[in-house]
Amino acid sequence: LVHDKLSAAEGIAIIEMGDKLNKFSGVFSIPVLLMHGGGDKITSAPATKAFFGRVAGEVTYKEWEGLWHEMHNEKEKEELFTYTFEWIKTVVR
């Protein structure tokens, strides 16, 4: 979805979940890929990197310098898709 509106309930849910994730630390039992656009002005790349630093397991973090919130809609999307596909091939056994 690409839009510029959200309900009050959605906004509250996002804030509450963000609070939980900012406090979460634990071990993932499955591989996890965290990717963030370094130029994202909607969500926080530093918070995603901090989350990565608090969790354990097979977790990969990739920050895409200069990309924004919707990385899959940017001109570099093919590079992003290739990276994601290659990551999937390394974790699927």
Q: Is the pLDDT of residue 93 over 80?
A: no
Tell me the whole-structure pTM to 2 decimals: 0.86
Average pLDDT taken over every residue of the chain: 94
Q: Is the pLDDT of residue 13 over 90?
A: yes
Q: Where are the beta strands (DSSP E) in 26-74?
A: 32-37, 59-64
Q: State the Cα–Cα distance between residues 74 and 89, nearest whole angstrom.
A: 23
pLDDT tens for each residue of 43-67? 999 999 999 999 999 999 999 999 9
Residue with tokens 């591989």, as numbered in its chain: 31
